Amino acid sequence: MISAGDFRNGITIEVDGNVYQIVEFQHVKPGKGAAFVRTKLKNIINGGVVEKTFRPTEKYPQARIDRKDMQYLYADGDLYCFMDTETYEQLDLNSDTVGSALKFVKENEICKICSYNGSVFSVEPPLFVELEVTDTEPGFKGDTATGASKPAVVETGATVAVPLFVNQGDRIKIDTRTGEYLSRA
């Protein structure tokens, strides 16, 4: 059990039969009246976000989320195939579960599969990936004064804004959480 006074970002709790992850929290002490905790909760099963307030003394059971490293094998239409690297068991997930998590992930890379009570609800890609630029316009001399950027398509098909000096065939490092260019690899 975790009390509302101990809420932190990323903690998962069970409230009214649903499992929520705390996205934002704020301890509020008004000048008059009792203190309370204002939160923004994301339902991990359906992805909906709700705002709730709690008294700091309320207690809720902490939900146990299992995260397992699995290798992304291939995509077959709307199904994405993953393999457990220890038992070699394969798991097929539909595009609703995967969402845009594999936007920057190549085949044979390791991802984290998140599940609650045996049912998979999301896929976490690696935090940083190195990909090759397959298509981009050449940069023009003299355009660098403003720190300008241009769109580039990487080998997974995703588009990333990159600096003008990045050329086709370069390998770049990308943050998968934000989709931002970090550096040349």
What tens digit of pLDDT does each residue of 75-122 get? 888 888 999 888 988 888 888 778 778 888 888 889 988 888 878 877
Q: What percent of the chain has pLDDT over 90?
A: 7
pLDDT at 164 over 60: yes
User: Range of 113's domain?
Assistant: 66-124
Q: How confident is the model at residue 149 (pLDDT cuts 50, 70, 90)?
A: confident
Query: In the block, which residue shows the tokens 């008059």?
Result: 32
In this structure, the answer to whether residues 47 and 77 fall within a common structural domain is no
In this structure, the answer to whether residues 152 and 107 fall within a common structural domain is no
Q: What is the Cβ-side half-sphere exposure of residue 63, based on CA atoms within 13 angstroms?
A: 24
In this structure, the answer to whether residues 50 and 83 fall within a common structural domain is no
In this structure, the answer to whether residues 120 and 132 fall within a common structural domain is no
**Which residues 6+ apart lie within 8 Å of 169 measured at CB?**
132, 133
In this structure, the answer to whether residues 70 and 111 fall within a common structural domain is yes
User: Residue 151's domain is classified under what CATH number?
Assistant: 2.40.50.140
Boundary of a domain, candidates 17, 40, 60: 60
The DSSP symbol for 32 reads S
Tell me which residue of 149, 155, 49 sits closest to 104, measured CA to CA.
155
Using alpha carbons only, what angle is made at residue 68 by residues 70 and 50, rounded to the nearest 5 degrees?
A: 115
| Each residue's pLDDT tens digit, 23-56 | 888 988 888 888 899 999 888 877 788 999 988 8
Q: Which sign does the torsion angle of CA 158, 161, 166, 167 carry?
A: positive
In this structure, the answer to whether residues 31 and 56 fall within a common structural domain is yes
178 sits in which H/E element: none
CA distance 79 to 125: 17
In this structure, the answer to whether residues 49 and 77 fall within a common structural domain is no
In this structure, the answer to whether residues 13 and 54 fall within a common structural domain is yes
Boundary of a domain, candidates 124, 145, 168: 124
Query: DSSP per residue over 53-114, as a string?
Result: EE-TT-EEPBP--EEEEEEEEEEETTEEEEEETTT--EEEEEHHHHTTTTTT--TT-EEEEE
Query: What's the structural domain count of the chain?
Result: 3
- Which pLDDT belongs to residue 57? 87
In this structure, the answer to whether residues 72 and 106 fall within a common structural domain is yes
In this structure, the answer to whether residues 32 and 55 fall within a common structural domain is yes
